[in-house]
Amino acid sequence: MNTLTIRLSTMSDTRARISRATKLALAGKTVPAVPTLNFASYDHMHRVLASSRIAILRALMGRGALSICKLADLTDSDVKAVDHDVAILVKAGIVDRNQSGVEFPYDSLHFEFDISLTTEAVRRERIT
């Protein structure tokens, strides 16, 4: 199964994962490539992957290229709204749009993150 992993990840987390993978590769160990999309915050992820956009991704999974009209039918949505949502997904690099239609090259999504009160949030909370 071809899965896209969605993570909440800081730059330091990402650098640490790259560093670990580099060390393993230099030691001659195979490092599997895992297609991953990182977001700096839950709010940013939620803005990009709103429920209507998740519905579009689910409609695209395993189907190849589909037209905006077909996606609107499959998601029971307005064509204009689907076109807008697809534009956001294209800009985020999650789907591809070409002359054949819109494509999502994955069969599933895997969300991998924890939500906790960050140091920044604690600091803001103390200020207010």
Instruction: Assess whether pLDDT exceeds 60 at residue 90.
Output: yes
Residue 121 CA to chain centroid, in angstroms? 24
Q: How far apart, in whole angstroms, are the C-alpha atoms of residue 37 and residue 9?
A: 9
Q: Give the model's pLDDT for residue 30.
A: 85
Q: Give the model's pLDDT for residue 117.
A: 66
Mean pLDDT computed over 81-85: 97
Instruction: Assess whether pLDDT exceeds 80 at residue 113.
Output: no
First to last CA, the chain: 47
Q: To the nearest whole number, what is the mean pLDDT of the chain?
A: 88
Instruction: Assess whether pLDDT exceeds 60 at residue 28.
Output: yes
Higher per-residue confidence, 115 vs 76: 76
